[in-house]
């Protein structure tokens, strides 16, 4: 999406708060992309509680560009993909 980013992430618990992790990610993206960040100061997060929830959220994110008329199919959106697969592990 041109005005926001969706991330599925699994920061190590206990090392850093999610807020600190998001601030760090935003700063690193801004530095490495060469695009000074104009990030909002906050973020929206959702804790996934099960494999079914993960699959539903993944499909929602994949289809976001289609719903907004930016791509005909999810795979047509050039700014998507996985860096690492996050296997769902039940607690």
pLDDT for 39-78, tens place per residue? 888 888 888 877 778 888 889 999 999 999 999 999 999 9
* Amino acid 82: pLDDT: 78
**pLDDT at position 1:** 60
C-alpha span between 29 and 33 (Å, rounded):
6
Measured distance CA(80)–CA(41) in Å, rounded: 24
Structure tokens at 84: 């690492």
pLDDT score, position 25:
87
Q: What confidence tens digit (pLDDT) does each residue in 16-35 have? A: 788 888 888 888 888 888 87
Quote the pLDDT of residue 75: 93
């Amino acid at each position: 999406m041109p005005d926001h980013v969706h991330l599925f992430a699994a920061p190590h618990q206990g090392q850093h708060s999610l807020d600190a992790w998001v601030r760090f990610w935003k700063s690193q993206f801004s530095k490495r992309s060469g695009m000074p960040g104009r990030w909002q100061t906050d973020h929206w997060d959702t804790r996934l509680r099960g494999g079914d929830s993960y699959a539903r959220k993944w499909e929602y994110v994949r289809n976001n560009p289609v719903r907004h008329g930016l791509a005909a199919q999810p795979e047509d959106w050039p700014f998507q993909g996985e860096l690492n697969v996050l296997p769902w592990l039940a607690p």
